[in-house]
Structures are given as structure tokens and as C-alpha cells.
Amino acid sequence: MRKNIYFALLLFFVTTSFQDVFAAKERSFRISKNLSIYNTLLRELDLFYVDTLDYDKIVKNSIDEMLIKLDPYTMYMPEEETDDLKFMTTGEYAGIGAMIMKKDKDICISEPYEGMPAQRNDLRAGDIILEIDGKKTDGMLVGDVSARLKGIPNTPIKLKIKRLGERKPLDKEFLREKIQVNPVGYSALVADKVGYVLLNEFTDRAAIELSLAVNELVKTHQIESLVLDIRNNGGGLIDEAVKIVGYFLPKGTAVVTTKGKNKDADRTYKTPLEPIYPQLKLVVLTNRSSASASEILAGAVQDLDRGVIIGERTFGKGLVQNIRPVGYGGHLKVTTAKYYIPSGRCIQALDYSHRNEDGSVGRVPDSLTTEFTTLKGRKVRDGGGIVPDTIAVDERKLNIAYYIYAQNLYFDFATQYVQKHPKIASPADFNLSSDDYKLFTDYLLEKKFTYTSQTEKYFNELLETSHFEGLDSIAKTEFAALKAKLVPDINKSLAENKIDILDLLSLEIIKRYYFQKGEIQYALRTDENLKIALEMLKPAGGYLKMLEKKK
């Protein structure tokens, strides 16, 4: 009997091993076959196609088309994009320290970073870049100009710029520097014993910079609660997210598990050290642009009942990417696994059909999701992203304020405003007056500002279709009445949306004087999510009750 069992097991393992070898050979043959076809096809095109071929472009396009069919995150990065790869992981590059943008036919400085070479050498938002090291920028794309601004640290750069109010172009000459963007965008005391930290990304210094910011708040203000803002944080390094979770939870706590086809991708990440802030109350702010490592942090905090999540459902990116060299300086960023947080649920959206236009998770019916429980028994669900404990959706509508923004009119007015106002009040106290608003609305009229709403665009498409189908004459009266309602009344819209317009205009103006930190400080004055967090953290605000109750 035992002999029979032994031979049966031996036969099973031999058969399974043979099948694995056969499958591996079959895969190898199919890869070789298709590569041979592709190689032959490219050579035939080179020999016989009527026009000269751009080989690099053809191959890059074909690779991109192949990879985009897999998932949105697997991509090929040729050698010239290596700097972007370094910036993604370290937040570091060598250049002048300023953002640029295309404006009409020109490339201009849109936002210099405080303390960086551009700002220290008096480059300002609105300055048009005419030349870089003697090379005119006429006809260049933003990427071309960006590449020329970057370079080896401590190498000289010469810029010729055109500035509003100056009759002649200005020459600027200084050294490029190694630019490292701090992942902590802002930190401050926002209420009695409550600290606030904005974390913009999970680069290789995210954890240490966060601890430095929180330590300063603890030392200076003796905070007992922390609001950690990861809204619009697209993620980054998983190890940094795990380290940050470890600041609040015991050593050895499992934060996230990765599982993939290749067993080498299977791994459980645990907090590496004893917690620094085990007693600190924690609220995490999220929105639909909080993705990847942000979702690991928020999901672990929620699953382990360590803090309260407030805001919008997160993006729903639970796919792990690794960077692999592929020769000639190029790299493949390839999806190798999925993330699973402590409750066992996967961050990744179940499919790509329930997505918003920006790629974030849309509404997924409960019937398509699975229920899980947190450490203390609270009910949570998968389906993609992290659903906050307290949902606070941005209810603002797409109105005239955003069409003004899209046409860079806040930016242009702010450039003029700076010429006439050498100083303004601090971000905590700054307010535009009624006279300022009147000047801005007059400026819009002077620029003959108008816009076509998305609804009106869809209406025009409907009207065109109805004409094609011969239905426009039947509903002529109704179409005319609807069109009259859709054509924007500029003056009425300016009056009705004054608050939104003033907010966006104020933010653009404040950036010119107080840079990114000033912009954040001003925005927090009216931040609804922060208000909800501060109310919850009050003694009778329900913070502890939220974590104890079962959903």
C-alpha cells in the first residue's frame, strides 16, 4: 500500500515537473518567434518604406502601445528620462529650482521655489524665458526648455528674460544647483495642542523629514494630536510609508503585503522600530488623488484602528512597480504585484470600469465588493481605494472661477498686481478688497474674457447630431430656449461666484510674495476637511468613539 502511494506521488511530481518544463519552453519559443517577426518587420520597413524612418520613435511608440494594454503604470523609460526616474525616487535633480509653463507662444516661469537658485537670483513668476545659454527658446516645447535648464550641479547658466514693466530684456547668470524638494510641504500649529503636516510625496527622505517636522511641533507646542495631510500625494517608496506608520504603531506590526505571479514579489512589510509617537492622536486627510503609498499609510492606520481618516475615497492604485534596466540606459517600470493592507483587502480597484475621468475609483456597488474588519471589528470594504471614516467630498461645482484659471488670467493679473504692490499682508491676514475685485473684473472685461461651458459644448454636439438626424426642426423652440439658458452671463456669473474667484486670485497673488508655504497657509484658512478634523479632535468631538464603535 505504501509502495503504491510512493509511486503515485513520484509520478505526480515527475508529471508536474515535465509540464512546467514544457510550459517554460513553449513561452520561450513564442517570445523568440514574435521578436524575430518584429525584427524582420522593422528591417523590411527600413529597406522598402518610401520615406526615411525615425527608428527610435517607431520602436518607442510600439513599446508604449504594447504596455498601455496591460495597466496604466507599466511603462518604458528611455535613457533621456533617467533624470525623471531619479526625481521620482529622491525628489532630487540639478537645475534652477523653478516650475515653468507654456503661455501663449512663450515659455515663462510659473513658480520659483523659495530659497532655490531661481528665487535667490530674482527670477519671478511671469518672467518670459527668451534665451538659455545663448539659445533662443522660440518654438521650443516646455520639455525642451526644462531639459536645458537642468544640468550638472555648479555649472553656470545664462538666461535672458523679458519682464513686465521692464523696457529691455534682463540677463541673469548663476550656477545650477542640486535641487531637493522637501516632501514635507508645510507644518504648523493649527489649534491648541494640534499640529498639522502636509506630506507631498514618499521620496527617500519622507519619513525622516516628517519626523523632524512632528518633533519640532512636539518640542515647541507640546502637541497631543496630529493632522497628517496626504491629499494629492501620488505615492512613492513603500518603505517610507511603512516607516511612517511605524512612528505610531508597535515594532513588528504588519503594514502591507505584496503578492504577485513571481514568488520573489511576495513580501510582508513590518514596522522596523519602536514607535516615536504612540500616544499622539492621528487624523489623516485624503482625497481622490491620494494614491499608492498614501493609500498604504491611510489603509494601515484605518485597519489597525490607529487613527481616523477624513476626506474623499482614495485613488485605488494598489499595484506594485519595480524598475528594471533594459539596456542602452533605458528602464522598464513593470507592475509585479498587488498591495494588501492589514485587514486583508486589496487597495487596487477591482477593475477599470468603475473609474472617474482622472483615473480614480468611482462608485462601486457593495454587491461587487467584499467586507473585511479592522483590528477592533469595524467593518471596511475592498473595491479599490480607502473609504474614509468621515467622508467630506468637495462640493464645489465647475463654474466661471475655473474657466478664468484655465485661461491663465489669475496668473496674468497677479503679475500686474505685484508691480503695484511691493508688499502685502501675511497669508494669515491677507484679504483682497472690493476695489481689488472691481479691478480684476474690469481686467477680465478688458481682455474680452468669455468661455464655453462643458454643458454648452455637449449641447452643440447634440444640436449637430439632431440636425444630422433631421430632428432639430421638430424641437426648434425647445433647443432655442435651452441654448439661451446655457450661454454664460459673464457679469452675473462673476457676482454669483465671487468667493471662489477671490480664493483662486488670492492664492495666485500670495504665491508671488510667500511662495508655496504661503499658498498652503492661506488655503488652510477655509479648509473644510481641516475644520472637521479639528472638531473631531476636541475633547467631546468623537475621535475615540469613532475608533471604538463597530460599523
- 236-267 per-position pLDDT tens digit: 999 999 999 999 999 999 999 999 888 888 89
Q: Is residue 17 part of a domain?
A: no
H or E segment and range at residue 491: helix 490-496
> Residue 495 is part of which domain span?
400-451+488-532
What integer pLDDT is reported at residue 551 of this predicted model?
46
110 pLDDT exceeds 80?
Answer: yes
Look at 150-154, 252-256, 277-281 and tell me which has the smallest mean pLDDT: 150-154
Q: Is residue 240 part of a domain?
A: yes
| Residues 154 and 207 occupy one common structural domain | no
Kindly state the average pLDDT of the residues 151-162.
Answer: 94
Please provide the average confidence, as pLDDT, over all residues in the chain: 89
Q: Is residue 70 part of a domain?
A: no
- 17-51 per-position pLDDT tens digit: 656 666 777 788 888 988 999 999 899 988 999 89
| Residues 389 and 408 occupy one common structural domain | no
Angle between helices 238-246 and 206-221 (to 10 degrees): 30
| Residues 425 and 369 occupy one common structural domain | no
Q: Is residue 286 part of a domain?
A: yes
> How far is Cα 217 from Cα 196, in angstroms, rounded to an integer?
9
Q: Is residue 57 part of a domain?
A: no
What integer pLDDT is reported at residue 409 of this predicted model?
97
What integer pLDDT is reported at residue 53 of this predicted model?
87
Q: How confident is the model at residue 390 (pLDDT cuts 50, 70, 90)?
A: very high
* Kind of pairing between the strands at 225-229 and 281-286: parallel
Task: Check residue 173 and report its DSSP letter.
Answer: E
Q: How confident is the model at residue 86 (pLDDT cuts 50, 70, 90)?
A: low
- 284-328 per-position pLDDT tens digit: 999 999 999 999 999 999 999 999 999 999 999 988 888 889 888
Identify which has the larger pLDDT, 127 or 397. Answer: 127
- State the DSSP string of 449-468: -----HHHHHHHHHHHHHHH
156 pLDDT exceeds 60?
Answer: yes
- 365-380 per-position pLDDT tens digit: 666 688 999 999 999 9
CATH number of 132's domain: 2.30.42.10
Q: How confident is the model at residue 180 (pLDDT cuts 50, 70, 90)?
A: confident
Cell digits for 521? 497657509
| CA 164, chain centre distance (Å) | 32
What integer pLDDT is reported at residue 351 of this predicted model?
58
What integer pLDDT is reported at residue 294 of this predicted model?
97
Q: Is residue 551 part of a domain?
A: no
Angle between helices 498-523 and 434-446 (to 10 degrees): 120
Q: Which of 394, 414, 443 is the last residue of a domain?
A: 394
What integer pLDDT is reported at residue 401 of this predicted model?
95
H or E segment and range at residue 45: helix 2-48
> How far is Cα 104 from Cα 204, in angstroms, rounded to an integer?
37
What integer pLDDT is reported at residue 478 of this predicted model?
82
Kindly state the average pLDDT of the residues 112-127.
Answer: 96
Cell digits for 315? 485613488
Query: Which positions are catalytic?
Result: 292, 303, 317
What integer pLDDT is reported at residue 77 of this predicted model?
86
341 pLDDT exceeds 80?
Answer: yes
Domain count of the fold of the chain: 3
Q: How confident is the model at residue 475 (pLDDT cuts 50, 70, 90)?
A: confident
Kindly state the average pLDDT of the residues 475-480.
Answer: 82
| Residues 269 and 322 occupy one common structural domain | yes
Q: Which of 394, 420, 436 is the last residue of a domain?
A: 394
> How far is Cα 429 from Cα 196, in angstroms, rounded to an integer?
19
| Residues 210 and 319 occupy one common structural domain | yes
Q: How confident is the model at residue 89 (pLDDT cuts 50, 70, 90)?
A: low
Angle between helices 2-48 and 55-68 (to 10 degrees): 140
Q: Is residue 545 part of a domain?
A: no
Backbone angles phi, psi at 397, to 5 degrees: -95, 160
352 pLDDT exceeds 80?
Answer: no
What integer pLDDT is reported at residue 13 of this predicted model?
53
CA distances to 123, 169, 217, 407, 415 from 164, rounded to whole Å, are 12, 10, 41, 18, 8
Kindly state the average pLDDT of the residues 438-460.
Answer: 90
SS3 state at 471: coil
Residue 251 burial by Cβ neighbours in a 10 Å radius (0-12, 13-18, 19+): exposed
| Residues 323 and 252 occupy one common structural domain | yes
CATH number of 210's domain: 3.90.226.10
| Residues 189 and 100 occupy one common structural domain | no
Look at 68-72, 364-368, 465-469, 470-474 and tell me which has the smallest mean pLDDT: 364-368
Cell digits for 169? 530684456
| Residues 198 and 109 occupy one common structural domain | no
Q: Is residue 263 part of a domain?
A: yes
| Residues 232 and 283 occupy one common structural domain | yes
In our burial notation (b when 16+ CB lie closer than 10 A, e otherwise), range 109-130 reads bbbbbeebbbbebebbbbbbbb
| 3-class DSSP string for 122-145 | CCCCCCEEEEECCEECCCCCHHHH
14 pLDDT exceeds 80?
Answer: no
| Residues 138 and 200 occupy one common structural domain | no
Kindly state the average pLDDT of the residues 187-200.
Answer: 98
> How far is Cα 225 from Cα 192, in angstroms, rounded to an integer?
9
| Residues 195 and 319 occupy one common structural domain | yes
In our burial notation (b when 16+ CB lie closer than 10 A, e otherwise), range 19-43 reads eeeeeeeeeeeeeeeeeeeeeeeee
User: In sequence order, what are the beta bridge partners of 365?
Assistant: none
Q: Which of 180, 212, 242 is the last residue of a domain?
A: 180
472 pLDDT exceeds 80?
Answer: no
H helix intervals, 49-116: 55-68, 82-90
489 pLDDT exceeds 50?
Answer: yes
| CA 426, chain centre distance (Å) | 28
| Residues 370 and 411 occupy one common structural domain | no
